[in-house]
Structure 1
Amino acid sequence: MELSRDFYENRKLENLVENQTSYTLNNAALHIFETHEQAERVLLQFDKPVLASMLKGKKIMHLRDQQSFNFLPGESLILPPDELMCIDFPEAQSTNPTQCLAMAISEEKIDKVIESMNELMPKVDGDEWALIDYNFHFTNDVGIYQILQRLLFLFTENHPSKDMFVDNMLEELIIRILQTNSRKIYTEQSFNLSSNNRLAYVIEYIRSNLHNHLSVKGLSKKACMSESNFYRVFKNELGISPTDFINNERIKLAVSLLQNPNKTIKEIYQECGFESRSYFNRVFKRRKKVAPGDYQSRFNVKL
């Protein structure tokens, strides 16, 4: 993500560590932090729920009751109100500053979006959308990346209607983050949830049968739902279609199998359930930006 020209023209650089530039609107405040020298144990706290997203450089985050972790560009973190962050900046330099956005969103706005989601896109088996798992650390997908890039522009733009523009983008951002969190929960806890949740049961079935033919029609029968209703509910709750979810899981498996240089590409794509090498190549390259054979060659280097 890139900061706009307006940001650089109007911001004041007053501190070398966590220099803060802020923009406040009705339902959210955007803060851009820049650090130009190495630092340790810098404390930061907000009184509202916060989305933090790395723009440039590297942070090491220390959060309460959680192991420390690297926070890198392309990643985001959801924090509850009053969460105390303790941050290290191991690589920050004047010529290569660390940059991060922190967007504090009003709880009223989040509650309103969740209420609308429960009314318009209810979850399966009587579950309801609720507040996200706080301290949720994730990699931005294309949709979230594009929304954050747009919000960076809107907050820094001098436009009389930007409150309305930002408000609409916030709704989509909250929905996509909740769906991303739901996808993570289903993926990591599908076995435990599968006994009383139809989507979790289907996801566990998918992950256990990646080598077999899988179709929306067959999966909808497993869920005891019509094909159209299954597709709608799946996409509402996880933010992606069943086919995209299946392909994502197959690519995860392929990535691990490709690390074995003794396996052929044919063995791998068949073991992952792809019907042809050409389709496997296309899906893999679209997601990993490299061909399967080139990816495998990285692990075939004699030391």
Structure 2
Amino acid sequence: MQLPANFLKNRKLESLVENQSTFTMDQAAMHIFETHQTADRVLLQFDQPVLASMIQGKKVMHLRDYESFQFLPGESLILPSHELMCIDFPEAQKEAPTRCLALAISETLIDQVLERMNEAMPKSDGRQWGLMDYNFHFVNDAAVFQILQRLLFLFTENHPYKEFFVDNMLRELIVRVLQTNQRRIYTDDTLQLKQDSRLSYVVRYIRNHLHEPLDVESLSKVACMSPSHFHRIFKNEVGVSPVEFINAERIKLAVSLLQDPNRSIKEVYMCCGFESRSYFNRVFKSKKQVAPKAFQQLLQREMF
């Protein structure tokens, strides 16, 4: 995502850590946070449900019941109201700040959308649509990316009908996010493994070494298990095989990197640990139903 030029021109930079610019409307408030120096254990909390989405840079998030994880551009995080975030900024610099939007949405609007969803698009299993009461970290698909980019423009625009435009975009965003939540690759247990378990350590190891060669044999040594035992335990506890997990994490990273139009496909697949472009293309297309280059071009067309 890109911030509108008028935002960078007009906003006031009053703090080097989590400088906050806020745009308020009837049904939502958009906060844009910028951090220009490294910082640790910065606390943040909202009294409404929030969608946070990374624009630039990297954060390390510490949330209840979660392993700490990197929060990267192209990713979003749903937080219930009053959820306390503890945030590290390991790479923020004056010339390369960390930027993130936080969209606080009225629970009244969310309830209206949920009521409409339950009437018009009931779930196949008969359960009701409802707002998550847990943290949900996901990679933006093309639709969510487009909506967030549009909302960045609308909130900072001076237009007599922008309240109407924003209301429509927020309603679609709520539907898209809830549908994304239904399509999660992993169960919540993936991110809630006991911190002292060997598999928890392996999951962190994978996420921190995606750019390096990873296979069952090497990971089994990290876990101090035999390869066969490690493969069986990993799949039972995480819900997918080690290779499936590695590839899915690499594609999540690739989606984030592809949102930078200046990154080449070669640079992306090498940063994600794929050995060849052909294998990267095959795995990416199986996850996203489109080739990496076409995905990158699609994002740029939707941005403008």
TM-score (norm 1): 0.64
1:20-46 alpha-carbon deviations (Å, 9 max, x no partner): 000000100000000000000101110
Which structure 2 residues correspond to residues 112-261 of structure 1 after superposition, within 5 A?
A: 112-184=112-184, 188=187
Which structure 2 residues correspond to residues 15-30 of structure 1 after superposition, within 5 A?
A: 15-30=15-30
Cα deviation for residue 125 of structure 1 reads: 3.4
**2:292 aligned to 267, 289, 292, which one?**
289
Cα pair distance change 1:179/1:71, threshold 3 Å: same
1:204-260 alpha-carbon deviations (Å, 9 max, x no partner): xxxxxxxxxxxxxxxxxxxxxxxxxxxxxxxxxxxxxxxxxxxxxxxx69959xx99
Show structure 2 runs of 5+ residues with no match.
Answer: 189-243, 249-272, 295-304
Contact 2:247 2:283 in 1 (8 A): no
Which structure 2 residues correspond to residues 18-167 of structure 1 after superposition, within 5 A?
A: 18-167=18-167
Partner of 1:205: none
One-letter code aligned to 1:85? M
1:271-299 alpha-carbon deviations (Å, 9 max, x no partner): xxxxxxxx9699459645279xxxxxxxx
Query: Residue 179 of structure 2 aligns to a residue in which SS?
Result: helix
Contact 1:133 1:181 in 2 (8 A): no
Cα pair distance change 1:253/1:84, threshold 3 Å: closer
Contact 2:54 2:73 in 1 (8 A): yes
Query: Residue 126 of structure 1 aligns to a residue in which SS?
Result: coil
One-letter code aligned to 1:79? L
Cα distance between partner residues in 1 of 2:105 and 2:163: 13
Cα distance between partner residues in 2 of 1:48 and 1:168: 19
Show structure 1 runs of 5+ residues with no match.
Answer: 190-251, 269-278, 292-303
1:89-114 alpha-carbon deviations (Å, 9 max, x no partner): 00000000000000000111101000
Contact 1:43 1:86 in 2 (8 A): yes
Query: Residue 40 of structure 1 aligns to a residue in which SS?
Result: strand
Relative contact order higher in (CA < 8 Å, ≥ 6 apart): 2
Cα distance between partner residues in 2 of 1:121 and 1:162: 28
Cα distance between partner residues in 1 of 2:131 and 2:284: 37
Cα deviation for residue 184 of structure 1 reads: 1.2
Partner of 2:3: 3
Partner of 2:222: none
Cα distance between partner residues in 2 of 1:80 and 1:93: 30
Contact 1:28 1:103 in 2 (8 A): yes
Cα distance between partner residues in 2 of 1:159 and 1:126: 42
One-letter code aligned to 2:164? M
Query: Residue 125 of structure 1 aligns to a residue in which SS?
Result: coil
1:119-147 alpha-carbon deviations (Å, 9 max, x no partner): 11111132111112521000000000000
Q: Which runs of 4+ in 1 moved over 4 A?
A: 252-256, 279-286
CA RMSD in angstroms comes to 3.0
Contact 2:45 2:82 in 1 (8 A): yes
